[in-house]
Amino acid sequence: MLGNSTPLSIAANVLARATLESVLRSPSYHARGWQILDRWAFDCPEQLRKLEADGEVILLGRLLEQQEIEHQVLSSTAGLEQCSHGLAEYEVLALHEIRTEL
């Protein structure tokens, strides 16, 4: 579902335009971060809005942390091997006990 949409299209319905522009402008965030933000917007829009209301810096810090964790797992030897054996990214993250919800 999320893989077929335009990056941040789901998040655009939940977050302020300024927040999205900050994510897109920053070299710290890449496609993984955009996927995470869309996933959070789809799964728990109210929590995402609350996090944004707590401050853009807090939201962006949490996003960067999650992006780094997921990237480490999915780009590790074990993660790459699991994906090559047909597991979806969310299954690999679950196997490594990575919390994907907000």
The residue extents of the domains of the chain are 6-95
- Residue 1 is predicted with a pLDDT of 46
CB 81 within 8 A of CB 92: no
Both structure tokens of 77: 């030897």
0.85 exceeded by the pTM? Answer: yes
Predicted confidence band of residue 99 (pLDDT cuts 50, 70, 90) = very high
Each residue's pLDDT tens digit, 35-69: 999 999 999 999 999 999 999 999 999 999 999 99
